[in-house]
């Protein structure tokens, strides 16, 4: 009885989750960069909303004397043909674009995730759940059979121009991907032995879904979600680029619309900084969330999490001699603690 | 029964009493695990169906219990240990959470906070809480001393530290060194033997009346197998539950069981007290199985094997399913499947008629080589 667990990391055991997070991040610099970038973006967006005067020198439509000025200390990203400050406009768009990313991907995650859980778990043919499951999947297939960008564009025309209708239109085209993803993961997880073991222990079906299946589906879903925020941003900017989502120049700038405006007016050919700044903003945001997604994968999975921590701490050496058997409670105390192990191997192997 | 349907298990009859260990042996694919999963109704239904018969557990026919009520029977009523310790623990939770979940299920049922299985004629009377003297809770009481958990804590929601104490007790019960450390580990940090111990602790912590161990040692390597088997044998002595022990290893059954059932192609072909079946098998399959087992008395030469292979259960041979491989086969064997009839044996007069064999020529079996 000496098969004590693999060498145990004593130092790591007492750590709280925050310091484990820190270790994982330190072991994986790219994820760390992603976390850092998302944090900076988030804090900046918060400052822009709460106290724009701190970091935004000009109003979105405010004209200065410097027309078509290249980047300078006064205007870090330059100005356009009417002397509007590009830096101010890019910064003002940050909270909106981040919000759009979270709103669309978040609602798609909640709607699609819930439907995917139901469709994957209660899919026994011939039951009410089975019928619901099939209905969910057929509706999902119908939505997936349209190219989502074209569908979103068409919906935007129906729902009207502006940020709200565009967000709604993209959300309507976006949730089916989550149904597919979550349902597939649920189908894989629900047949694993530990789900049946939980069932054998008397856990009810609903609790199995919420405690055992959902927890193990969460990790790939959250990772997909963070990566997806970038994709949503690009899609929104594409629709913005076509010019149906947001109006630019206007009181509330948006990166895709900025790109579209300067590209269409032809100024971008002569004054490239007009498009470099909003383009780079989209690029950096998408990159930040992609890196974050990779990092989350490592943190949410207990196996990789431990592996990272292992890499930074030395192991306790495995015990040379078997440790004395602990005196167990009650009736087991009189059992011989050093009973020789007899190997019984007289059986039939088939 | 549509096309492609087959009977994985048929005509299996057995009784298991508290404190008794019944072993089931048989080759891979003979329906052992199907039998184990059918008892607590764990087979996925559909596609699986229980076509007929009864599973009487504490006076209730489980075949008739509605699906929604089955969780109440499982765990505290019928516990189970699976053969895949590597995947039977949820990778996302620490050892503490896994065992605490089982303890919590039993605790809530004992308190009457959730509906639970009572057994008897009116099994699903949920209005009153389970009496503390019910068979299930008293059967395994001896293994965890009562004094350790404050008497007052039994009647209210327990705190995390109280659960922790009980989890630690069960970890010690399955002979785990340094349980305080193991408590905080994830399943992937444990070896196969440790995981199987955790599984055993989980099953025992619900204090089941019937414990089904479905090849608990098969997935482990030989030394760990012996350790877990030693543990199982010790626990069988301590736990007063009825135990159904399933294995493909004759040695394991010989060491643990009181009675043995030998399965072949979905049927029990021989059943009886372990000593008697091993001493004088009365079915040609049992005889061949014993001959094929490696033995220390036969150190040289090739092992004996049984010619042929297990029949495809979707097209079983007519009559006795062992007839294509049987040395005693005659025409009558290809007609009706022989009934499981008591054999004439003088070996153990204490249990007359318990030793049964499904062979028309059971009396000729001792004469086989």
Does B185 share its domain with B250? yes
Q: Tally the domains of chain B.
A: 2
Does B225 share its domain with B276? no
Tell me what the mean pLDDT of segment A283-310 comes to: 76
Does B191 share its domain with B315? no
pTM of the predicted model as reported, rounded to 2 decimal places: 0.76
B3 part of a folded domain: no
Structural domain including B27 reads 21-257
Residue with tokens 């619900």: B206
d(CA B103, CA B368): 52
Residues 6+ apart with CB under 8 A from B47: none
* A268/A317: higher pLDDT: A268
Does B338 share its domain with B274? yes
* B208/A175: higher pLDDT: A175
B101 part of a folded domain: yes
Model confidence pLDDT, tens digit, residues B158-188: 777 778 888 888 888 888 888 888 888 888 8
A32 has a pLDDT exceeding 60: yes
Domain harbouring B85, CATH code: 3.40.50.300
Q: Identify all chain A residues contacting B231, using CB atoms and an 8 Å cutoff.
A: 1
Beta strands in chain B (DSSP E): 21-25, 56-57, 60-61, 78-81, 210-214, 242-247, 259-264, 267-273, 341-342, 356-357
B7 part of a folded domain: no
Domains of chain A: 16-64+71-312 (1.10.3720.10)
Does B193 share its domain with B339? no
Q: What is the DSSP string of A115-183?
A: HHHHHHHS--TTSHHHHHHHHHHHHHHHHHTS-HHHHHHHHHHHH-SSHHHHHHHHHHHHHHHHHHHHH
B289 has a pLDDT exceeding 60: yes
* A225/B326: higher pLDDT: A225
pLDDT for A43: 92
Please state, for a pLDDT cut of 70, what percent of chain A lies above it: 81
B122 has a pLDDT exceeding 50: no
B12 part of a folded domain: no
Does B246 share its domain with B285? no
A199 contacts B79? CB cut-off 8 A: no
B293 part of a folded domain: yes
Tell me how many degrees the CA angle B3-B7-B10 measures, rounded to the nearest 5: 155
Does B271 share its domain with B209? no
Nearest CA in chain B to A304: B188
| H or E stretch covering B31 | none
Tell me what the mean pLDDT of segment A233-239 comes to: 85
Q: Identify all chain B residues contacting A2, using CB atoms and an 8 Å cutoff.
A: 177
CA-CA-CA-CA torsion sign (B142, B147, B152, B153) = negative
B72 contacts A347? CB cut-off 8 A: no
Q: How far is CA A90 from the centre of its chain?
A: 24
d(CA B209, CA B78): 6
Does B40 share its domain with B139? yes
Nearest-Cα distance to chain B for A34, in Å, is 25
Smallest CA-to-CA distance from B37 within B50, B28, B27, B25 is with B50
Tokens describing residue A208 = 């199995």
Does B50 share its domain with B131? yes
Smallest CA-to-CA distance from B271 within B7, B1, B2, B16 is with B16
Smallest CA-to-CA distance from A102 within A54, A185, A45 is with A45
Q: Identify all chain A residues contacting B292, using CB atoms and an 8 Å cutoff.
A: 348
d(CA B243, CA B80): 10
pLDDT band at B126 (very low <50, low <70, confident <90, very high): very low
Exposed e or buried b per residue across A227-257, where buried means at least 16 C-beta atoms within 10 angstroms of its C-beta: bbbbbbbbbbbbbbbeebbbbbeeebbbbbb
């Amino acid at each position: 009885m000496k098969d004590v667990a693999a060498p145990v990391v004593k130092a790591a055991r007492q750590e709280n989750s925050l310091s484990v997070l820190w270790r994982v991040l330190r072991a994986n610099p790219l994820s760390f960069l992603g976390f850092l970038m998302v944090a900076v973006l988030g804090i900046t967006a918060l400052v822009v909303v709460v106290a724009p005067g701190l970091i935004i020198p000009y109003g979105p439509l405010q004209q200065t004397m410097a027309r078509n000025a290249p980047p300078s200390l006064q205007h870090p990203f330059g100005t356009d043909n009417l002397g509007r400050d590009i830096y101010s406009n890019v910064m003002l768009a940050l909270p909106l674009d981040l919000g759009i990313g979270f709103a669309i991907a978040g609602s798609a995650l909640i709607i699609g995730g819930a439907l995917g859980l139901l469709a994957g778990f209660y899919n026994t043919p011939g039951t009410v759940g089975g019928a619901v499951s099939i209905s969910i999947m057929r509706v999902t297939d119908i939505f997936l059979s349209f190219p989502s960008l074209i569908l979103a564009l068409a919906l935007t025309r129906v729902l009207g121009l502006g940020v709200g209708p565009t967000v709604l239109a993209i959300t309507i085209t976006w949730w089916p991907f989550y149904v597919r993803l979550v349902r597939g993961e649920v189908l894989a997880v629900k047949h694993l032995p530990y789900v049946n073991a939980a069932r054998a222990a008397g856990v009810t079906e609903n609790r199995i879904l919420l405690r055992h299946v959902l927890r193990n589906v969460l990790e790939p879903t959250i990772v997909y979600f963070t990566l997806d925020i970038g994709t949503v941003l690009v899609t929104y900017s594409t629709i913005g680029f076509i010019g149906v989502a947001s109006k630019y120049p206007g009181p509330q700038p948006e990166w895709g619309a900025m790109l579209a405006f300067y590209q269409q007016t032809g100024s971008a050919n002569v004054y490239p900084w007009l498009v470099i700044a909003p383009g780079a903003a989209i690029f950096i945001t998408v990159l930040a969330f992609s890196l974050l997604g990779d990092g989350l994968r490592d943190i949410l999975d207990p196996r990789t999490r431990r592996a990272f921590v292992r890499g930074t701490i030395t192991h306790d050496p495995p015990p040379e001699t078997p440790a004395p058997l602990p005196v167990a409670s009650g009736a087991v105390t009189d059992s011989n603690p050093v009973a020789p192990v007899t190997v019984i191997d007289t059986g039939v192997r088939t | 029964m549509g096309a492609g349907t087959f009977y994985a298990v048929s005509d299996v009859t057995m009784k298991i009493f508290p404190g008794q260990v019944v072993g089931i042996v048989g080759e891979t694919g003979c329906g052992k695990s199907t039998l184990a999963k059918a008892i607590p109704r764990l087979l996925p239904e559909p596609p699986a169906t229980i076509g007929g018969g009864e599973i009487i557990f504490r006076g209730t026919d489980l075949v008739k219990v509605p699906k929604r009520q089955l969780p109440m029977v499982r765990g505290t009523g019928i516990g189970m240990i699976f053969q895949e310790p590597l995947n039977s623990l949820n990778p996302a939770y620490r050892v503490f959470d896994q065992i605490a979940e089982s303890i919590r299920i039993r605790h809530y049922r004992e308190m009457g906070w959730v509906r639970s299985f009572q057994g008897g004629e009116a099994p699903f009377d949920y209005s009153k809480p389970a009496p503390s003297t019910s068979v299930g809770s008293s059967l395994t009481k001896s293994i965890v001393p009562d004094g350790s958990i404050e008497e007052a804590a039994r009647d209210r929601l327990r705190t995390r530290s109280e659960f922790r104490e009980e989890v630690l007790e069960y970890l010690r019960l399955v002979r785990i060194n340094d349980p305080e450390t193991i408590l905080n580990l994830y399943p992937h940090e444990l070896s196969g033997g440790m995981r199987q111990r955790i599984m055993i602790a989980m099953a025992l912590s619900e204090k089941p009346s019937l414990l089904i161990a479905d090849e608990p040692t098969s997935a482990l390597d030989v030394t760990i197998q012996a350790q877990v088997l030693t543990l199982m044998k010790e626990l069988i002595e301590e736990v007063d539950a009825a135990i159904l022990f399933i294995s493909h290893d004759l040695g394991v059954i010989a060491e643990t069981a009181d009675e043995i059932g030998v399965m072949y192609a979905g049927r029990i072909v021989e059943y009886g007290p372990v000593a008697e079946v091993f001493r004088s098998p009365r079915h040609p399959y049992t005889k061949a199985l014993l001959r094929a087992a490696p033995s220390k008395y036969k150190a040289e030469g090739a092992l004996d094997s049984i010619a042929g292979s297990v029949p495809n259960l979707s097209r079983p041979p007519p009559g006795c399913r062992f007839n294509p491989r049987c040395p005693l086969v005659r025409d009558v064997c290809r007609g009706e499947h022989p009934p499981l009839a008591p054999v004439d044996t003088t070996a153990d007069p204490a249990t007359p008629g318990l030793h049964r064999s499904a062979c028309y020529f059971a009396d000729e079996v001792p004469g086989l080589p």
